[in-house]
Amino acid sequence: MKGDIKLRRGYDGDVMLVNPSATLGIGGEATVYSFPNDESLAAKVYLKPTDDHGRKLAVMCANPPIERTEGEEGSPLAWPVDTLHSADRKRRVIGYLMPKMKGMDPIINVYSLQSRLKDRPKFTFGHLLRTGQSLARAVSAVHASNYIIGDLNYTNAFVSQDSQVTLIDTDSFQVLDPDTGEIYRCPVFTPDFTPPELQGDEASTLTDRTHQHDLFSLGVLMFQLLMAGGHPFAGAFQEEGDPAPITDRIKDGHYPYATRREVPYKPAAIALPLNIMAPALRDLFTKCFEDGHDNPELRPTADAWLEALIQAEDKLTDCATNEQHKYDNELAACPWCERSVLLGGRDPFPSLAVVESGEHIQTVQVRQTLPTDWKPEWAGQQQVREYKAAGRGLTPDSKIWVGVSIFLWVGIPIWIALAMLSPGIVALAFLIYVTLAFMVPWGLLSSIGLKATLSFQAGSRWMISAAAGSIIGIVIITVGSVIFAF
């Protein structure tokens, strides 16, 4: 047919015709077409094919990775299955055949709230965890076969309706020829997914990538997937002047959720709190973005992510208010209910009844003027729960603090009255208050720390009351002792 593109398969030399109207996608370097003879395949044809393309594709076709699907349908990698050649005498490699994706969208459409509510309104947090598991399996398959992705980001990870991930643009992976030792480097990179050791390196496309570089990108994509699309290095700047771009924050290790170092950024008020994640996932983010900043070898592997994500899914519990709200069973309350209030009524995981009515896609005014120190009520409850589990002294909600506070405030006027009748009471009262004066600071510091207590976090008001009572009591008793002494 006139206008058709004539191609020749590398495997058997058969000539095939591709209709330009059957275009699946157009990029800066190639165009993807439907393959007319097999609906399960697609053809990627380069605009400017080179000899390096041909050699690299030959190595990839001869050495496919071991796919770790574990029950998943489809392929986790759009890997070249055959080379495509020009139909002339030169028979140059001009493209390749690969598995065709059906009913899949870029992963950004899954973690972006607006896109997810439109196209996948019945997705829950459990679906996001399963998407992460599939992503981890795909990366694990690549690394197990000694390949390196090089430019893992939200544009080359696609997700099916059943949460299965397929990595595309595999021809940009870094490939090692096992026979010659030649390395075909990854020719591209995405700055916001580039690890700190490569930031600012203009020659990064000429640098041999490592598995550790991929693992940083994997951590960023996992964070976005599970944290409502937020970048792990986005946050509210706490100093004067303009905040640095994301790339500089990555380079300097300014992770706003850092627990082991001081950084000039804090999570934005509208951002999801990290402690909605299972502890194992929080630990992996810390290893990736804090520990891994200075030592890339400490970044979690894809298998480590897979294990933690499976465990996190096993720990999910259902919200009593909305059956679509799935959250970690160690949390004191449903964070998605709180999130819905924060978003002005826009539920990130709407109930099935709301979805059926179509109300989930209505435009909602999102309130973004919360104070920077705002924290949801459930976060304080969760903090208390964690203190109890860790056995860290008296917890802020302990009834002991209520008793101590009442004793100190009621005891002060009672002591004053008794001291007028019997000066001997002064010595006993002084002894009691001095003892409590040591007990209260110990309770404050061992439970949540002085800073958290003074900011009234985790229900610490009775602790503050007890502290104030002990201080005022000591002052009154001391003054009283001096007066009675004279």
- pLDDT value for 387: 46
**Per-residue pLDDT for 8 more than 90?**
no
Alpha helix stretches (DSSP H) within 72-208: 108-111, 113-119, 125-144
387 three-class SS: helix
Q: Which of 9-13, 56-60, 318-322 has the weakest average pLDDT? A: 9-13
Tracing tokens 């058997």 back to the chain, one arrives at 12
Q: In the β-sheet with 5-9, what is the strand arrangement from edge to edge? A: 15-18, 5-9, 82-86, 93-99, 41-46, 30-34, 23-26
CATH architecture, domain defined by 103-361: Orthogonal Bundle (1.10)
- Residue range 159-182: mean pLDDT, rounded: 94
The Cα 269–Cα 101 span in angstroms is 38
**Residue 305 contacts residue 132 (beta carbons within 8 Å):** yes
- pLDDT value for 440: 60
Alpha helix stretches (DSSP H) within 256-351: 279-286, 292-294, 302-314, 335-342
14 three-class SS: coil
CATH class of 1-100: alpha beta
**Per-residue pLDDT for 264 more than 90?**
yes
- pLDDT value for 90: 82
- Rg for the chain, CA atoms, rounded: 30
| Residues forming beta bridges with residue 25, ordered by sequence position | 32
- pLDDT value for 177: 94
The Cα 180–Cα 86 span in angstroms is 26
Q: Which of 179-188, 279-288, 434-443 has the weakest average pLDDT? A: 434-443
pLDDT band at 7 (very low <50, low <70, confident <90, very high): confident
pLDDT band at 70 (very low <50, low <70, confident <90, very high): low
- pLDDT value for 395: 56
Closest C-alpha among 483, 477, 482 to residue 426:
477
Q: Which of 91-100, 356-365, 399-408, 441-450 has the highest mean pLDDT?
A: 91-100
- pLDDT value for 304: 97
More confidently predicted of 203 and 31: 31
Query: What tokens does 24 get?
Result: 């699946």
Domain map of the chain by residue range? Answer: 1-100, 103-361, 390-485
- pLDDT value for 364: 45
